[in-house]
Amino acid sequence: MQKIDRLGWAAGLGFVSYGRRIGVRVNDPRVLARIESLLPPGWKASPSPVVGRLYSVFTGGEHPRAGVRRLHLSYANTLRIARTADLDAALDAFESDLRLYVAERARRRVFVHAGVVAWRGRAIVIPGRSFSGKSRLVAALVRAGATYYSDEYAVFDAQGRVHPFPAPLSLRGVDGERPTRHPAESLGDGPGTRPLPVGLVAVSEYRPGARWRPRRLTPGQGVLALLAHTVPARERPAAALAALQRAVLAARVLKGRRGEASEVADVLLGNAG
């Protein structure tokens, strides 16, 4: 840590997110505004100098000595998580690690990798891995009239209700283009604000040309389907099982392959209604 401490830090920020105290320091104060835009939804600034995790983002660029270019670096505590000539990649690594840390260590919440929208007072939860098409489906559901809650994590409390995690909706481009981010406020009537019981869990996988003909899972199988995408599943299995069990008790759990998001969105809203 002493070596990292000597890199020359010019500004910093302490904040609390889901009960965890986290710090970020930068060598270029201009980067701090970008850092703030990458923090998890609902973060609050904290004056406390004591943090459980400290991120250090070092901005490289041109060195005064001709012909020398310094790389951008990101650290989580003492672990280097990025060393790259692309500042966006260094910030992506910071954001990714931060989200994972919060999702894994959040107090009194269970984070499941899933998209979430609200429909008629209940949540539709779409668990799935990255690249399974969650964000596109969430975007299609919002266009069809649902309320945006999250395209990344379903955040469950101990009663099994889902809380909003309204980070900007991130849609990947084709052929490796950078994702485009759509602020939660710009989606439909804006993001939901209150916790909701779950009405439908849709375990779906995108297959070109597929028709949504799901089969119904039992509540127990539904819990397993959610647990397979639960971030603290290994760290806190009892709490995760308890929360997920309550979540699926009054919900329908459907599993199947689906085609284009726009085609299945209305059907899903019908399934949930």
**Which residues contact other proteins (rule: CB under 8 A)?**
82, 89, 92-93, 95-97, 99-100, 103-104, 112-113, 129-132, 152, 172-173, 176-179, 218-221, 223-224, 227-235, 237-238, 241-242, 245, 249
Instruction: Specify which residues 244 forms β-bridges with.
Output: none
Contact yes or no for 200/190 (Cβ under 8 A): no
DSSP single-letter state for residue 185 = G
For the bound state, the minimum distance from the C-beta of residue 26 to other proteins, rounded and expressed in Å, comes to: 20
For the bound state, the minimum distance from the C-beta of residue 47 to other proteins, rounded and expressed in Å, comes to: 29
For the bound state, the minimum distance from the C-beta of residue 160 to other proteins, rounded and expressed in Å, comes to: 12
Contact yes or no for 110/244 (Cβ under 8 A): yes
DSSP single-letter state for residue 218 = P
How long is the chain? 273
Our CB check for other proteins shows the closer of 193 and 218 to be 218
Our CB check for other proteins shows the closer of 21 and 83 to be 83
For the chain, helix, strand, coil in percent to 5 are 30, 35, 40
Strand extents, DSSP E, the chain: 11-17, 20-26, 44-45, 53-58, 61-62, 69-70, 72-76, 79-84, 110-119, 122-127, 147-150, 153-156, 162-163, 169-171, 180-182, 198-206, 215-216, 252-258
Our CB check for other proteins shows the closer of 36 and 88 to be 88
Our CB check for other proteins shows the closer of 141 and 223 to be 223
For the bound state, the minimum distance from the C-beta of residue 78 to other proteins, rounded and expressed in Å, comes to: 16
For the bound state, the minimum distance from the C-beta of residue 189 to other proteins, rounded and expressed in Å, comes to: 25
Q: How far, in Å, CA of 26 to CA of 232, rounded?
A: 29
For the bound state, the minimum distance from the C-beta of residue 237 to other proteins, rounded and expressed in Å, comes to: 4
Our CB check for other proteins shows the closer of 118 and 244 to be 244
Our CB check for other proteins shows the closer of 29 and 220 to be 220
